[in-house]
């Protein structure tokens, strides 16, 4: 078990920066997700930690060891790939025993540990099967067992759920998280799926254009996004063009349709400066009788039924915003064209400089 330090880690491919000097500390036992769109450098970062890609500059420290120039086999890491990479010419038992054989463990110890590892991932009795006889979820479990049986210092997961269908993905999400907590192994998880990152992680590092733009707990990332990119990439957000009314930081207002609206935002803003006001759809409340500090007149444009949710498109001061309401019995429905009052908790809104 070890922590991971990335110091000014950089990778450039012929002038193109894939990873631009990122600094990260991943604590011992932490489940850390690197989240970002494709091409943001998250996979390259993971492959540098694994040793498959040599960094252009910077350092990678696992525990107390600088592993920057070590080959993958000397790093004592475990990695699970998107396609699981089960060796097709070996049965499940030989796949899992692969790392132990390389470590020259005695034969009966290998057999015992393979059996234990299979029990741990819930695949007892699968020893003799081959890759072509396993479903995607089973391959995933074998890939994890193969890695965990060698007791690596850190676990790297490269989009391990993206090849599974939706229901299995849900199941594996909680299963992997539980296993990781039980073993307490430091884990770096690469994904482009914000849902996976939010449910599984202790902390998330959001990556954009070769850089880590925000690091925080899932709650911090979702509720207090620091940039417009983070707020739009993670979940849905209403982004309104507004201007600064007064103040800055946690005590400020912006003007919507001339009405001062309290919110929080960055420091050093000047009144009249154009900014973006960000509010999540689930935080926009509708109804003429709502008692929220922010109250503004709006018009319903359309209503979409989504099962557990009802989604409203609203016109607010000439801009379109989305509001989501729980579909509970007793909740009033609004027809298109209805004038309504909308509001939100200022603590759930954020002014961001574009």
Partner 1 sequence: MTMVGTESEARVERPIRAARANGGRLWWLAVPAALIFIVFFVIPVASLFGLSFNKSVAGVIGLSSQFTLDNFIRIFTRATYYEAILRSIWVSAIVSTASLLFGYPLAYVIAKTVNPGRNTLLMIMVLSAMQLDMVIRMFGLMVLLGDNGLINGFLLYTGLVSQPLPLMYNTFGVIVGLVQITLPFMVLSLIGIIKAIHPSLEEAARALGASRIQAFFSIVLPLSMPGILAGTLLVFALSISSYVVPALMGGWKVMVLPIHIYQQIAEVGRWQFGAAIAVVLFVTSIIAVAIYHQAAIRTSGGRT
Site string for partner 1, 39-68 (x = CB under 8 A): -----------xxx----------------
Q: Which is nearer to partner 1, 170 or 303 (CB)?
A: 170
* CA–CA separation, 157 and 144 (whole Å): 9
Q: How many CA atoms lie within 13 A of 269 on its CB side?
A: 28
Residue 6: CB minimum distance to partner 1, A: 18
- DSSP summary character for residue 52: S
Helix (H) or strand (E) holding 352: strand 349-352
Q: Which of 73, 109, 178, 257 binds partner 1 (CB under 8 A)?
A: 73
225 binds partner 1 (CB under 8 A): no
Cα angle vertex 240, ends 236, 243, to 5°? 150
Single out the residue of 107, 140, 322, 330 nearest to residue 232, CA to CA.
322
Residue 273: CB minimum distance to partner 1, A: 48
Residue 98: CB minimum distance to partner 1, A: 5
Q: Which of 13, 27, 57, 103 binds partner 1 (CB under 8 A)?
A: 103
Q: Are strands 203-208 and 31-35 parallel, antiparallel or unpaired?
A: parallel
70 binds partner 1 (CB under 8 A): no
297 binds partner 1 (CB under 8 A): no
Stretch that binds partner 1, among 7-15, 145-153, 264-272, 314-322 (CB under 8 A): 145-153
Q: Which of 102, 174, 236, 249 binds partner 1 (CB under 8 A)?
A: 102
Rg, Å, the chain Cα set: 25
| 217, burial (CB in 10 Å: exposed 0-12, middle 13-18, buried 19+) | middle
* CA–CA separation, 61 and 67 (whole Å): 6
* CA–CA separation, 17 and 10 (whole Å): 8
Q: Which of 23, 57, 135, 327 binds partner 1 (CB under 8 A)?
A: 135
85 binds partner 1 (CB under 8 A): yes
78 binds partner 1 (CB under 8 A): yes
Contacts to partner 1 by CB under 8 A: 50-52, 71-73, 75, 77-79, 81-83, 85, 87-89, 98-99, 102-103, 133, 135-138, 143, 146-147, 150, 165, 167-168, 171
């Amino acid at each position: 078990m070890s922590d991971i330090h990335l110091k000014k880690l950089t990778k450039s491919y012929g002038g193109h920066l894939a990873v631009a000097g990122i600094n990260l500390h991943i604590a011992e036992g932490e489940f850390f997700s690197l989240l970002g769109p494709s091409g943001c450098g998250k996979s390259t970062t993971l492959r540098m930690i694994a040793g498959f890609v040599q960094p252009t500059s910077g350092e990678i420290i696992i525990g107390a060891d600088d592993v920057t120039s070590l080959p993958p086999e000397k790093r004592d890491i475990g990695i699970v790939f998107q396609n699981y990479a089960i060796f097709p010419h070996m049965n499940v038992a030989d796949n899992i025993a692969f790392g132990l054989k390389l470590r020259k463990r005695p034969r009966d110890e290998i057999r015992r540990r393979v059996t234990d590892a299979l029990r741990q991932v819930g695949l007892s009795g699968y020893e003799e099967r081959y890759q072509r006889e396993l479903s995607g979820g089973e391959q995933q479990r074998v890939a994890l067992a193969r890695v965990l049986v060698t007791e690596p210092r850190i676990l790297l997961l490269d989009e391990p759920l993206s090849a599974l269908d939706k229901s299995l993905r849900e199941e594996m999400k909680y299963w992997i998280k539980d296993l990781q907590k039980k073993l307490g192994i430091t884990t770096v998880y690469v994904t482009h799926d914000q849902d996976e990152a939010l449910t599984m992680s202790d902390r998330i590092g959001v990556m954009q254009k070769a850089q880590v733009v925000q690091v925080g707990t899932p709650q911090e990332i979702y509720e207090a996004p620091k940039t417009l990119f983070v707020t739009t990439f993670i979940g849905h957000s209403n982004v309104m063009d507004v201007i600064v009314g007064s103040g800055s930081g946690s005590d400020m207002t912006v003007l919507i349709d001339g009405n001062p609206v309290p919110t929080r935002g960055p420091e050093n803003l000047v009144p009249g400066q154009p900014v973006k006001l960000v509010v999540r759809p689930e935080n926009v409340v509708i109804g003429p009788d709502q008692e929220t500090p922010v109250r503004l007149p709006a018009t319903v444009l359309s209503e979409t039924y989504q099962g557990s949710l009802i989604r409203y498109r609203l016109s607010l001061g000439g801009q379109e915003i989305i509001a989501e309401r729980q579909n509970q019995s007793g909740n009033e429905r609004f027809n298109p064209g209805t004038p309504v009052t909308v509001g939100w908790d200022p603590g759930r809104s954020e002014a961001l400089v574009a």
